[in-house]
Amino acid sequence: MITLKDVFKQLIRDVRNEKLRTFLTVFGIVWGTVAISLMLAFGTGLHRQIIKSTAGLGDRIVIVWPGLTSIPFEGLGKGRRIRITEDDIVSVRSDVAGLKAISSEYSTNMKVDYGTKTMSVDVSGVSPEFGSMRNLIPQSGGRFINPIDMDKQRRVAFLGEKLTRDIFGESQAVGKTVLINQSPFLVIGTLVKKDQDSSYSGPDAGKMWIPSTTYRALTGEKYVNNFVFQADAATNTKRIIERTRAAFGKRLRFDAKDKEALSMWDTTEQFVFLDIFMLAFNSFLGIIGVLTLVVGGIGVSNIMNVVVEERTREIGIKMALGAKQRWILTQFLLETLLVTFLGGVIGFGISIAVCAVFPKLGFTEYVGDPVVSPLVSVLTAVALGIVGLIAGYFPARDAARLDPVVAMKL
């Protein structure tokens, strides 16, 4: 019976006798493996980077702006302005099941002074939940607004990273005091730099946030500019949107079907679109990689056909001495799989090396970092196995079907 040791010894002899041919055969598999694994790795990295940039706006949130009614309701004409107060937000928070978090947002442009610096800054009054929903992560040593700040109407501020540099330069900002419209505010935290490719009132890097209770006390503002909410699960967002619209409609007396009364931006739709788009894009890249690997497999199959022709007499002698067809088939099939495996290992090594070096080139912000994930590894291994089996089967079958008498005469 043919053993793996016998196959390996035969492969070593072939390599020694035909170095160039073996190199070209292995190179075809290496190239195909690098193509499929790197394409999928770059596709995965790009997907993660796009999701990361999109999540800079918020973690699957819905942003809502009060507007004008466009449908008459219970005797009230259309064109009526919808005004939402903090009491309305609190009421809806308790009425809507499945609402994970909700925060009002008051915003305006205020004058900020620190030492000799004076600048105009977008300042928003928000609740503690706003930070987690909008991915406003504080740098080490700082924090975001908390419930105690809200209850006591503390004069505290959380700053975007660009605004922090503009005001304080490279010095520590947390613990310093700035003047907002001539009122002293303690800086309690600064934003960790984040990727953000979309916004609704400007990038977070240049903004400042204070407790909404403090904002109302400082400005006398009664009505929210907008509010943000998040469902308990992204898959429930559509249902929570309907419930939230209905709850506000019942409280403020407008038709729940009136899309103009409350304008909503459901950011979960972006994530769904991106997931579908990137799945199609990665599938396209994977197909191209597989086709490249198939070309390498065709090269392997051709080489194995040549090997069979060169070893026809040897095959005839083995069969005359009692070697069965399945042994001959197994021998050549295993030789093909060993060549494919060797090329695959080298190709994987090259891909992993490229993925390790690429982040240092500084292109992460644009295309992300390629990642040879477990899924990419499995898909590549499966493709390699299929190509190796198909490439080796037909030459091996031809070898196993040889007539030993005829083969020994060739």
47-81 burial code (b ≥16 CB/10 A, e <16): bbbbbbbbbbbbbbbbbbbbeebeeebeeeeeebe
Alpha-carbon distance of 59 to 44, in angstroms, equals 20
Q: Residue 303: its pLDDT value, please?
A: 73
Centre a 10 Å sphere on the Cβ of residue 23 and count the other Cβ atoms it contains: 12
Into how many domains does the chain fold? 2
> Token pair of 378, please?
């499995």
Q: Quick check: helix, strand or coil at residue 119? A: strand
Last residue of a domain, one of 217, 244, 266: 266
Same domain, 233 and 280: no
> Token pair of 283, please?
């599938």
Same domain, 198 and 336: no
Q: Residue 1: its pLDDT value, please?
A: 52
Residue among 277, 265, 279 nearest 58 (CA):
265
Phi, psi of 292 (to 5 degrees): -65, -40
Q: Residue 291: its pLDDT value, please?
A: 81
CB 21 within 8 A of CB 304: no
Q: Residue 316: its pLDDT value, please?
A: 65
Same domain, 24 and 150: no
Same domain, 9 and 119: no
Alpha-carbon distance of 18 to 27, in angstroms, equals 14
- Enter the pTM of the model: 0.69
Same domain, 238 and 344: no
Same domain, 181 and 201: yes
> Token pair of 270, please?
């972006």
Q: Residue 151: its pLDDT value, please?
A: 95
Same domain, 241 and 310: no
Same domain, 227 and 85: yes
Same domain, 103 and 243: yes
Q: Residue 101: its pLDDT value, please?
A: 94
Residue among 285, 390, 385, 391 nearest 344 (CA):
385
Q: Which residues contact 315 (CB under 8 A, 6 or more apart)?
A: 308, 328, 399, 402, 404, 407
Last residue of a domain, one of 231, 266, 301: 266
Alpha-carbon distance of 258 to 73, in angstroms, equals 10
Alpha-carbon distance of 58 to 61, in angstroms, equals 6
Same domain, 353 and 260: no
Q: Residue 11: its pLDDT value, please?
A: 59
For the chain, the distance separating the N- and C-terminal CA atoms, rounded to the nearest angstrom, is 24
Extract the residue ranges of the chain whose pLDDT is less than 50: none
Q: Residue 13: its pLDDT value, please?
A: 67
Last residue of a domain, one of 206, 234, 266: 266
Same domain, 358 and 386: yes
Same domain, 155 and 13: no
Alpha-carbon distance of 388 to 339, in angstroms, equals 8
**Full domain range(s) for residue 404:** 4-54+272-409
Q: Residue 57: its pLDDT value, please?
A: 81
